[in-house]
Amino acid sequence: MALPRPRPRPRHRSRTRARLRNAALGLALGAVVAAVVPGSSASAAQSSASSETSGTAAASSTVGPFSEPAFTSECVWHHFGEGEKPPLWMWVYDPLCVEYDKRDITIDNGGALRFLLAEPSRFAIAGLSCRYYQRDHWSVQKSSGDVPYVTWDGQYWWDKGARRAGLRVTNFRINGTSAGIGDAVTALRPHFPELAGALEQFGEESGESGVSVTLPFSLPCSLAG
């Protein structure tokens, strides 16, 4: 006959709250990081994104708020309309900075099909780039004029030589309802102000979420300088 297990001793309430706060923060950051770099690990959350570095200075794995890449001032932006494919030779640009309209991902008018046909070329030039910055504008709906299933404006960049990447999503809505870290901050602030304060650097406005992460080492991009 198994002996009854002794009840665990209750822990101090403030200690429990601290652990819950840290766990919630880790889960929120992990979800965003997974969207940027699947499989990456976040070992520390930074309160500032000023640690944009290159080479061995970026060797430690870090997570921080979204910030613009150091090469933003070098960008020459190339704009592509709905379903428009970029030429494959564009991967030679360094940095490569592109903007895509993806607002007509519509099921019943062929917009969704045109979107799918254009994506392979877009992924191809992105994957070959050492310094890449993309902005895009999404809207997915069944018919023109319907409330979209999902909408957002995105910013995504990486600098493989510096081993840094960033993602920021704004105006994110599902069936017209705003969703993002900024919305979580607003909901949490009256009851959990410390947690809200920790999260707001990753999103302040409704529908906003942003993060920057460390990338794995890339030998070709490091040699390219």
The Cα–Cα gap between 90 and 135 comes to 16
Domain assignment of residue 12, yes or no: no
Domain assignment of residue 200, yes or no: yes
| Residue 28 scores a pLDDT above 70 | no
Percent above pLDDT 70 for the chain: 72
Residue 217, CA atoms < 13 Å, CB-side half-sphere = 7
* Residues 6 or more apart whose Cβ sits within 8 Å of residue 76: 93, 97
pLDDT in tens, 106-154: 999 999 999 999 999 999 999 999 999 999 999 999 999 999 999 999 9
pLDDT of residue 225: 66
| Residue 25 scores a pLDDT above 70 | no
Domain assignment of residue 151, yes or no: yes
pLDDT of residue 7: 53
Of 111, 108, 58, the residue nearest 222 (C-alpha):
58
Domain assignment of residue 2, yes or no: no
Six-digit token string for 149: 């299933």
Confidence of residue 69 (pLDDT cuts 50, 70, 90): very high
Domain assignment of residue 132, yes or no: yes
* Residues 6 or more apart whose Cβ sits within 8 Å of residue 51: 62, 64
Domain assignment of residue 24, yes or no: no
- SS3 assignment, position 78: strand
Strands 131-141 vs 150-159: parallel, antiparallel or unpaired:
antiparallel
Q: What is the value of pTM for the model shown?
A: 0.72
| Residue 82 scores a pLDDT above 90 | yes
pLDDT of residue 203: 94
Find the helix packing angle between 13-36 and 181-188, rounded to 10°: 160
pLDDT in tens, 160-210: 999 999 999 999 999 999 999 999 999 999 999 999 999 999 999 999 999
Confidence of residue 61 (pLDDT cuts 50, 70, 90): low
| Residue 29 scores a pLDDT above 90 | no
Domain assignment of residue 22, yes or no: no
- SS3 assignment, position 188: helix
Neighbours of 42 (CB within 10 A): 19
Q: How far is CA 219 from the centre of its chain?
A: 24
pLDDT of residue 108: 93
Residue 33 is inside which H or E element, if any?
helix 13-36
Domain assignment of residue 72, yes or no: yes
Q: Report the domain count for the chain.
A: 1
The Cα–Cα gap between 117 and 148 comes to 21
The boundaries of the domain holding residue 176 are 30-36+60-224
The Cα–Cα gap between 211 and 222 comes to 23
